[in-house]
A and B are shown apart, each in its own frame.
Chain A
Amino acid sequence: MSTPDPAASEDIESEEAQRERSLQERLKVDRAARWPVGIFIASSIGWLVFGSLIALIASIKLHDPEFVADNAWLTFGRVRTVHLNAVAYGWLSTVAIGIGLWVLSRLCRVPIEDHRSLALAAILWNVGNGVGIWGIFRGDSTGVEWLEYPTYAAPFLLVSFTFVILTAVNLIRKRKPGHIYISQWYIMAAFFWFPALYFTAHGLLILAPVQAPAQPPINWWFAHNALGLWFTPVGLGTIYYLVPKIIGRPIHSYYLSIIGFWSLAFFYAWNGMHHLIGGPYPAFLITASVVASVMMFLPVITVAINHQLTMFGHFKALIYSPTLRFVIFGAMSYILVSFQGSLMAIRSINNLTHFTHYTVAHSHLGAYAFASMVFFGGIYYIMPRILEREWPSRWLIRLHFWPCAIGIIIYFVMLSWGGILQGIAMNRGEMPFMEIIKTTMPYLKWRSIGGTLMTIGHIAFMASFIWMVIDRRKQGSEPTLFAKRTTQDTPATNASDS
């Protein structure tokens, strides 16, 4: 294989002219993205804060069942479900669309063409989410996990996402010639995978339900892929874009990138059945899923090596760059959560962890410590560019990072430990069920503490965001960093960045 040189076609341009052209392109991309991407990101932060407050209610109810128990809208069955949907569709999906489209637009070097329609689609997307959440609150949940939005919310989401896909396809079709960067692979694929998953599952489980025994495999195929083929690829695409952008160094290996992408695509789609270990399903169905889950070691180790070799020698940048700190926290969590997930799919380990809080801790490690943290980093990078002003206060960014980071660590460690104790006790079958619940109590309280910390971080984040949008004064070109850069860590041609 000859090595394609992305710069070959541009040799005729002088370096100075190239930089100038790149600046112009990025300026157009950012200005076209201002409204649509801005609306997606702004609304996602609203959903994040709402979802965290609701989560706190659900968490407190688990150790204090009488907490706001007189209101039907705030019973556990509804708040827990509202939390899941508000953060999965309101926060993660919304921010994934916003960041995904921006990164795609940057890398294709094409501005979003019909940004007015896309801005309308962003509003429609939020209407769909609002209707869905309201539907769950009033008791119209479909009862299918991860697909609880009542059917009347689906048309809004369908129309809105159609616009999103059309935009993405348009960007890819009109991309400037040259190398296709790995983030483009991930994000483009995700924009096809997610609607395919959502509407297949919605059709087969809600509109025209298949026979009952066939429903759980479809349900878990969808729910697990929503994480693996939607949040994960957009998250990885974002990491792949931001890390080289901030430390000013190319990704270590194109080959590792591409092995990572295709092995993720190949193995992840099989993973969902590991949720049904011990269930009444043919051995081969479960075994295939266990194998695919363990094989996820392959893409994860590959991506991890690629990231580490890229970062190697540049970890100092974590001291000052807010974006990089969030993104690297997310990238490290990705490695951890994936290793853990592969091990949890092994039958003998699953035997212990299944139906315990351990699984809940695991899912938050994925959805929060990985996906959410990466998207926080993405927002810190994107907003100054599309708004053309700086983040107002480094203290607010600190107040976002530390409570969130400490909160999720408390959450994960405590709930995992409680889950293991719970699993051991349930497998032994000597202790009455009520006693087992009592042993998990302290860990459930720790969860509420971790959740409170994260919520504090989110409120600081929202305050910081609103301040930035309202206050037009901070238009200087000095980035808001955690600390002053002491040394230039690369012989950079242009200055280091937030």
Chain B
Amino acid sequence: MKNRPGSEKGEDLDVREVHGQLLREKSEPREMFHAAPSWLKHGIYAPLTIWALIYLLSASGGFKWNEYYEGFRSTVKMAEMEKLNSEENGSSPESPATPMSLRDEGKTVYQNVCSACHQPNGKGLPGAFPPLAGVDWVAGDERRLALIVLHGLMGPITVNGETWNSVMPPQGANLTDREIAAALSYVRSEWGNNAPEVLPETVGKMRAEFKDHAPWTNEALTASDL
């Protein structure tokens, strides 16, 4: 078991002559047994643990699978409120409990769907995506605007004197009439734009009238006789 030095004389010599690296090495590492300092236990371990428990219990939404973190607001309660509101709205549309205007609703839709291309500030990206701020297309005919969102738009167009040639994908299948109307209302009243709201009924009418239309082009829009 133990390698008594005397038993392997030949290798001993070997060590002395060849393996200087081993000879100068310090002994194998050991550990001393000083206790953990008490300031570490009371000043670090304890406060950390207490904080951890408090935060874990206060920011975990009761450990429910459907509770998402929104600055400590309960997403479950918010969903219940919303359901309640929409039920009330069915009987009395003027209910004061209605929390969001069409425009506020549209802001969320815009941020989720439109802002990736047209940018949160509505200025678009030079060369790729046309702006929405201060643009005649946006302030103009609301029906034309609804059609573009419903079915998409491609080919060259002129926006504020500049020519753009890119593709806008159709959103009609992803968004409801109300969502489209909301997003358009938001766009028409933001960044200095000041055009009237678009009603969900208008979008619905366009959807029915031009059912499953192919993506629009500038010519097709002009020819559609709006």
Q: B44 touching A494 by the CB < 8 A rule?
A: no
Q: B32 touching A251 by the CB < 8 A rule?
A: yes
State in angstroms the CA–CA spacing of A298 and B40 once bound together.
9
Q: B40 touching A179 by the CB < 8 A rule?
A: no
Q: B23 touching A477 by the CB < 8 A rule?
A: yes
Is residue B221 contacting chain A, with contact meaning CB distance below 8 A?
A: no
Q: Separation in Å of the A319 CB from the closest CB of chain B?
A: 18
Is residue B226 contacting chain A, with contact meaning CB distance below 8 A?
A: no
Is residue A148 contacting chain B, with contact meaning CB distance below 8 A?
A: no
Q: Separation in Å of the A21 CB from the closest CB of chain B?
A: 5
Is residue A406 contacting chain B, with contact meaning CB distance below 8 A?
A: no
User: Which A residues are CB-close (under 8 A) to B20?
Assistant: 476-478
Is residue A246 contacting chain B, with contact meaning CB distance below 8 A?
A: yes
Q: A255 touching B33 by the CB < 8 A rule?
A: yes
Contact string against A for B residues 49-93, beta-carbon threshold 8 Å, 1 for contact and 0 otherwise: 101100110011101111111000000000000000000000000
Q: Separation in Å of the A109 CB from the closest CB of chain B?
A: 8
Q: What's the dominant secondary structure at chain A's contact region?
A: helix
Size bracket, chain A contacts = 35 or more
Q: Which residues of B from 118 to 159 have beta carbons under 8 Å from A?
A: 119-121, 123, 125-126
Is residue B11 contacting chain A, with contact meaning CB distance below 8 A?
A: yes
Is residue A291 contacting chain B, with contact meaning CB distance below 8 A?
A: yes
Is residue A434 contacting chain B, with contact meaning CB distance below 8 A?
A: yes
CB nearest neighbor in B for A176: B1
Q: A253 touching B34 by the CB < 8 A rule?
A: yes
Q: Which residues of A from 471 to 498 have beta carbons under 8 Å from B?
A: 475-479, 492-498
State in angstroms the CA–CA spacing of A334 and B119 once bound together.
40
Q: B52 touching A434 by the CB < 8 A rule?
A: no
Contact string against A for B residues 100-133, beta-carbon threshold 8 Å, 1 for contact and 0 otherwise: 0000000000000000000111010110000000
CB nearest neighbor in A for B37: A305
Is residue B210 contacting chain A, with contact meaning CB distance below 8 A?
A: no
Q: Separation in Å of the A60 CB from the closest CB of chain B?
A: 24
User: Which A residues are CB-close (under 8 A) to B26?
Assistant: 244-248, 492, 494, 496-497
Q: Separation in Å of the A27 CB from the closest CB of chain B?
A: 6
Q: A245-B25, A433-B119 are in contact. Are A25 and B60 (CB under 8 A)?
A: no
Q: A251-B32, A429-B120 are in contact. Are A479 and B52 (CB under 8 A)?
A: no
Q: A3 touching B33 by the CB < 8 A rule?
A: yes
User: Which A residues are CB-close (under 8 A) to B45?
Assistant: 298
Is residue A252 contacting chain B, with contact meaning CB distance below 8 A?
A: yes
Which of A50-58, A150-158, A277-285 faces chain B?
A277-285
CB nearest neighbor in B for A281: B68
Number of A-B contacts (CB under 8 A): 175
Is residue B224 contacting chain A, with contact meaning CB distance below 8 A?
A: no
Q: A434 touching B68 by the CB < 8 A rule?
A: no
Size bracket, chain B contacts = 35 or more
Q: Separation in Å of the B225 CB from the closest CB of chain A?
A: 37
Which of B2-10, B163-171, B177-185, B193-201 faces chain A?
B2-10
User: Which B residues are CB-close (under 8 A) to A182?
Assistant: 31
Q: Separation in Å of the B219 CB from the closest CB of chain A?
A: 30
Q: B29 touching A477 by the CB < 8 A rule?
A: no
Q: B61 touching A283 by the CB < 8 A rule?
A: yes
User: Which B residues are CB-close (under 8 A) to A170?
Assistant: none
Is residue B42 contacting chain A, with contact meaning CB distance below 8 A?
A: no
Q: A24 touching B69 by the CB < 8 A rule?
A: no
Q: B61 touching A282 by the CB < 8 A rule?
A: yes
State in angstroms the CA–CA spacing of A290 and B54 once bound together.
12
State in angstroms the CA–CA spacing of A347 and B56 once bound together.
13
**Told that A250-B31, A283-B68, A497-B21 touch, could you supply 8 new A-B pairs with CB distance under 8 A?**
A23-B22, A26-B22, A252-B34, A253-B31, A253-B32, A253-B35, A254-B33, A255-B35
Q: Interface of A with B (CB < 8 Å)?
A: 3, 6, 17, 19-27, 30, 106-107, 179, 181-183, 240-241, 243-248, 250-257, 259, 280-284, 286-288, 290-291, 294-295, 297-298, 301-302, 305, 309, 347, 384-385, 388, 390, 429-430, 432-434, 475-479, 492-498
30 CB < 8 A contacts A-B: A3-B33, A20-B12, A23-B15, A24-B12, A24-B15, A26-B22, A26-B25, A27-B22, A30-B22, A245-B25, A248-B26, A283-B61, A284-B67, A288-B60, A290-B59, A291-B56, A295-B48, A298-B44, A301-B40, A301-B44, A302-B40, A385-B21, A390-B21, A478-B20, A479-B21, A494-B25, A494-B26, A496-B24, A496-B26, A497-B24
- Identify the 8 closest CB pairs spanning chains A and B, nearest first: A477-B20, A284-B60, A244-B29, A283-B61, A20-B5, A283-B69, A248-B26, A254-B31
